Amino acid sequence: MKKNFIIYLLPLLFFSQSITNAYGENVSKIIDWSKKKTWTLTSPPRDFAASFDKKKIFILEEDNKVRVYENSYNGNRLGIINVPPNTVAIDIAPRGGMLYLVGSDKTYTAIEIVYRKKDNSIADWSKKYTWKTETRPLDIAMSFDKKYAFILESDNRIHVYTINGKRRATVPVAPGTFALTVPSRKRTLCLLNRNAQYTFIQLRLR
């Protein structure tokens, strides 16, 4: 992976009602974009997550640390959290108060983070929950209300757990699925697989 971390600003959206050919594909909407920030990381990245308010960027790096950066032009570092070497994916609470990890040893960990008020840097962090998944995790997404963990596992299923590890449901997915996300405030799953397919799943959880 590249060590340069790039964030793209999409401030202007121009919509066209007619179908336009772009990059050899027919598209009905054209998005105008420009590069806003770029900075160099300490170590190559494995995964990342951005806070809902867009103020913090969490990056899992190959030296087994999650570095928390301010979403600024110079990427000011707010703190470092040491994680196990088998960590494969991360997610965070909407404002960055919790960090969620899954590891290849079938371990889920939730870490609570405390920030200093004066500069928003990390003052302290501690493990709040840890438990075992059913099979080896590939990716994780937390619900916006922090009640459920959606974990894509190696058995071609998404396992839905409560925050304390009680399994609530399983959702079969296509072989080759490697990434998932839960759009903000919605009980839906968005999936990508290696067969160039995007899948949208509506969930019914109480």
Report the alpha-carbon distance of residue 51 to residue 113 in Å, rounded. Answer: 13
Give every strand in the sheet of 65-70, ordered side by side.
45-50, 56-61, 65-70, 77-82
Please give the chain's pLDDT, 206 residues, in tens. 334 444 433 343 443 444 455 555 665 566 677 777 788 889 999 999 999 888 999 999 999 999 999 988 778 999 999 999 999 999 999 999 999 999 999 999 999 999 999 999 999 999 999 999 999 999 999 998 889 999 999 999 999 999 999 999 999 999 999 999 988 666 788 999 999 999 998 877 66
DSSP character at residue 134: S
Give every strand in the sheet of 122-132, ordered side by side.
87-92, 98-103, 107-115, 122-132
Bridge partners (DSSP) of residue 185 are: none
Report the alpha-carbon distance of residue 177 to residue 3 in Å, rounded. Answer: 25
Question: Are 138 and 88 in contact, with CB atoms under 8 Å apart?
Answer: yes
Q: Output the pTM of the full model.
A: 0.83
Q: Which two tokens stand for residue 167?
A: 């399994």
Pick from 133, 61, 125, 50: which is nearest to 91 by CA? 50
